[in-house]
Amino acid sequence: MTTDKDRMRRKDLVSGIVLMLFGAWIVAETVARVPMKGSWGGVMNVWYVSPGLFPIFIGSVLFLFGSILAAVAVRHLGLDAVRDGARSGARALAAIREIPETAFRFFAVVAILVCYIYLYMSRIDFFLNSTLFLAVIIPVFYLDETKAQRRLFGFYLAGSSLLLAAFALGLDARLGGGVPYASDWLALLLTVVLAACAWSRARGSGERVKRLRLALSMAVAAPLLIGGLFKYFLLVPLPREGLVVALLDAVYFGLF
């Protein structure tokens, strides 16, 4: 008999494999494309100040966490159950029209990561981009209510589509003449509205509100901690420095 814990471990296995593959891809792409050391302006830079160090760190952490998640799931389920689950999942995916939860989670991870890397990384301040990324991907996996997860993800896709249209039409560049960091303000607006949408879905349940409060706190704190470490202590330039970096620079250099 399949228990709730068994179903949860099957979801963990799929999520762990996805995280491992994506983490390995990040590391491979960074090693292939970003020089780890070299000479710029007559100054020889060593590997630990390379801009490639940050994505390698992120990719390695994703791979590690994914492997731990998958290993715990396999240990709980057993190899025979994993094989049977893979076969039944493939049959269910081909037999039903509605996207099953495991397929939804896979699609959500891929779509959110594509937006994070290819749509926002070169256009939006690193801290805002990472906060928006965590503010949607944590609730999608952390909230218990399936309907809330899908609606939140759909809202994120709709907002990202609007931002993509704005970037394609050059609206951010036009606004940039009168409004500094126009693209960052647009991303901040999307993040705030997304958080408000998630909060409205969580109201009425003390447990969901508690989970969402923790998720949003992590979405803000993690980029500040990791990005601040690389920016101000390891002196590694961030992929895109905009509104939040300008504010942090004013605070940091004002104090030190």
**Among the ranges given (19-23, 108-112, 122-126, 168-172), the one the predictor scored with the smallest mean pLDDT:** 168-172
What Cα–Cα distance (Å) separates residue 8 from each residue in 21, 130, 143, 147, 230? 20, 27, 13, 17, 35
Q: Is the pLDDT of residue 193 over 50?
A: yes
Lowest mean pLDDT among 102-116, 126-140, 143-157, 218-232: 143-157
Confidence tier at 140 by pLDDT (50, 70, 90): confident
User: Residue 78: is its pLDDT beyond 70?
Assistant: yes
Query: What pLDDT was estimated at residue 96?
Result: 34
- Out of 24-28, 53-57, 59-63, 82-86, which region has the weakest mean confidence (pLDDT)? 82-86
Task: Identify whether the C-beta of residue 224 lies closer than 8 Å to the C-beta of residue 252.
Answer: no
Across-strand partners of 38? Answer: 45
- pLDDT higher at 231 or 47: 231
DSSP H helical ranges for the chain? 4-33, 53-77, 79-95, 101-114, 126-142, 146-169, 171-176, 182-202, 206-228, 243-255
Q: What is the mean pLDDT of residues 52-77?
A: 83
Tell me the mean pLDDT in the region 98-109.
73
Sorting pLDDT into bands at 50, 70 and 90, what band is 24? Answer: confident
Confidence of residue 182 (pLDDT cuts 50, 70, 90): confident
Domain ranges for the chain: 1-97, 100-256
Across the chain, mean pLDDT equals 78
Looking at residues 50-79, what average pLDDT do you find? 82
Please tell me what DSSP assigns to residue 40: E
Using the predicted structure, report yes or no on whether residue 51 has a pLDDT greater than 80: no
- The pLDDT assigned to 95 comes to 40
Closest by CA position to 191, among listed 248, 244, 231: 244
Query: Full-prediction pTM beyond 0.75?
Result: no
The token duo for 69 is: 């998640």
- 245: Cβ–Cβ under 8 A, 6 or more apart, which residues? 125, 126, 127, 231, 238
In angstroms, the CA 99 to CA 15 distance is 16
